[in-house]
Amino acid sequence: MSEALGPADVEQLAAWGIDIEEAERQLALLREFAAPASRVPPFRLLRPCTPGDGVRRLADDERASLRVVWRRAAATGGAVKMVPASGAATRMFSSLLALLDEESFPTTAELQRRAVAGDGSARDLDRLWRELPRLPFFDELAAICVQRGTTIGELRERRDGERLLRLVLTSRGLGLAGLPKGLVAFHRYADGERTAVEEQIVEGAAYLADDARRCRFHFTVAREWQSRFAREVDAAARRLRRAHGVEVEASFSVQETSTDTLAGTETGEPFRDDEGRLLLRPGGHGALLGNLQAVDGRWVLLKNIDNVRPESAHALVAEWQEALGGLLVLLEERAHELVRQLRTAGDQASDALVDEAERFLADELQLPAAAAWAERPGRERARLALDRLERPLRVCGVVENRGEPGGGPFWVVRPDGEVSAQIVEKAEIGDDEEQLSTFARSTHFNPVQIAAALRDSDGNAFDLARHVDPRAVFLARKSHGGRPLLALERPGLWNGGMAGWNTVFVEVPAATFAPVKTVFDLLRPEHQP
């Protein structure tokens, strides 16, 4: 144990479920980040993946046949939709919350002056007044106003901004800023509004149902909200059963404290709070790898909670979810067939069989290195092919880059020289100008529409932890109690967390992607039923 950690630290870490070896590993990474000149990047960008060079386009007839493959597979009951839903809605309302945080709420005249001057919070409040009737929670807000002895019309006439924000954002009213994003109303229909989690369920029913008309979902949620999510899902399931005769089976999991990470000082030493205890922080979405591992499904469709469109677009979304899933199933079937043939042949595997496996890896699973194995001895080629074929597989939908923040598909090279297709986010590449220039040439964006195959050729679950690049962590500069710190996040779930997976990128229409980052995104045409 290093001198940086004492007996009290070991006790604290044990209570969190973090073993000392893992803590020491994190501290070593923090020290590397504190001295960036000595840090070896986990990879370098070569070029963006583009159509014909890492991004696959599906013709109409191919897409139709893949949808048939998916329906056949889903009918067996092996498909699950996993939706990370633990994120809070606070950021949706951050500019409006800033007004409530001011020492005294600005007067109407002051707000008007600030809005003209370009103040974002004042402008957003003015927009909220104008657009309020179009937001999905308007009817619920109107009912709350009546309960509080006024009407929404009177509130708008008086232009009482402070009261409006308290009714919308705080526990005095709807409390939207304190909810998880999944429990915020996203869309309004004639018979009422739907939260993001209910819309995810209704959407999933279009492409998940098995032979028994059962759809399986898994939601990762914050522990304190699990019972509320369960009630919301139960109510949504009852409505779906009545409307379409579909049964919903939902499970939940939480992000375990054992996935939290140590914060560091600017010199890479353990950051301690005012009481001298280690500061432990949530490890980012990469911490959900264990949750994915525990999902009881052969094929998992991954989608973010805020990327869901109204029912009018569900048929389009289902078409592409089925196409991604069908391609996943076909690639998995072929990989498993080659694994079985290579294992049966053993050391006697023919050059023709190994050649076939290498072509499949290079051409279909986007592993250029496989094409160079021909110079190696036959036994080594067969071993390399087996190792690469028997891995988790993902088919990732990507959309044309229209300026959304986030990662995209790139060809990368790792320190050992292996080239592979990966999802990369800007935060992973540091401040190297050449790398930033390469990143800026990206043509496609990762919307997190991922179809994943989690079973090996014998039907056993892969050990997903074996395929993580542990050095592909994220670092952010934060503060605590006014003191700067280095915040470490685990390799991202679809970044370094899946670095060792076999990966295929497929272009999907931008119309399938409609994220909600601010409340006003709900006013975009793609979110208006």
Q: Residues 456-492: pLDDT tens digits?
A: 999 999 999 999 999 898 888 888 888 999 999 999 9
Which structural domain range is residue 482 located in?
7-58+264-284+320-527
- Tell me whether strands 444-453 and 299-303 are parallel, antiparallel or unpaired: antiparallel
Residue 476's pLDDT is 85
Question: pTM, whole model, 2 decimals?
Answer: 0.94
Beta sheet of 408-413, edge-to-edge order: 44-48, 408-413, 419-424
Rounded CA separation 162/164 (Å): 5
Q: Determine the residue type at 248.
A: V
Domain-embedded: residue 229: no
Q: Is 283 helix (H, G, I), strand (E, B) or coil?
A: coil
Residue 38's pLDDT is 63
At residue 268's C-alpha, the angle toward residues 265 and 270, to 5°, is 60
132: left (phi over 0), alpha (psi -120 to 50) or beta: alpha
User: Which residue stretches of the chain have pLDDT < 50?
Assistant: none
Burial class (CB in 10 A: 0-12, 13-18, 19+), 79: buried
Whether residue 102 sits in one domain with residue 50: no
Domain-embedded: residue 480: yes
Q: Give me the torsion for CA of 231, 233, 236, 241, rounded to 10°.
A: -110
- H helices of 75-212, in order, are 94-100, 108-116, 120-131, 138-147, 152-158, 161-169, 196-208
Burial class (CB in 10 A: 0-12, 13-18, 19+), 83: buried
Residue 4's pLDDT is 81
Domain-embedded: residue 149: yes
Residue 474's pLDDT is 87
Residue 306's pLDDT is 96
Domain finish residue from 162, 178, 194: 178
Number of independent structural domains in the chain? 2
Copy the structure tokens of residue 19.
């073993």
Phi/psi at 39 (nearest 5 deg)? -85, 135
Whether residue 123 sits in one domain with residue 29: no
Residue 529's pLDDT is 72
Domain finish residue from 129, 146, 178: 178
Whether residue 41 sits in one domain with residue 168: no
Whether residue 27 sits in one domain with residue 103: no
Q: Is 251 helix (H, G, I), strand (E, B) or coil?
A: strand
End-to-end CA gap in the chain: 58
Domain-embedded: residue 412: yes
Whether residue 115 sits in one domain with residue 47: no
* pLDDT per position as a tens digit, 261-312: 999 999 889 999 989 999 999 998 999 999 999 999 999 999 999 999 999 9
Rounded CA separation 469/62 (Å): 34
Whether residue 277 sits in one domain with residue 165: no
Whether residue 275 sits in one domain with residue 142: no
Please give the distance of CA 324 from its chain centroid, rounded to a whole number. Answer: 17
Residue 26's pLDDT is 92
Domain finish residue from 155, 178, 201: 178
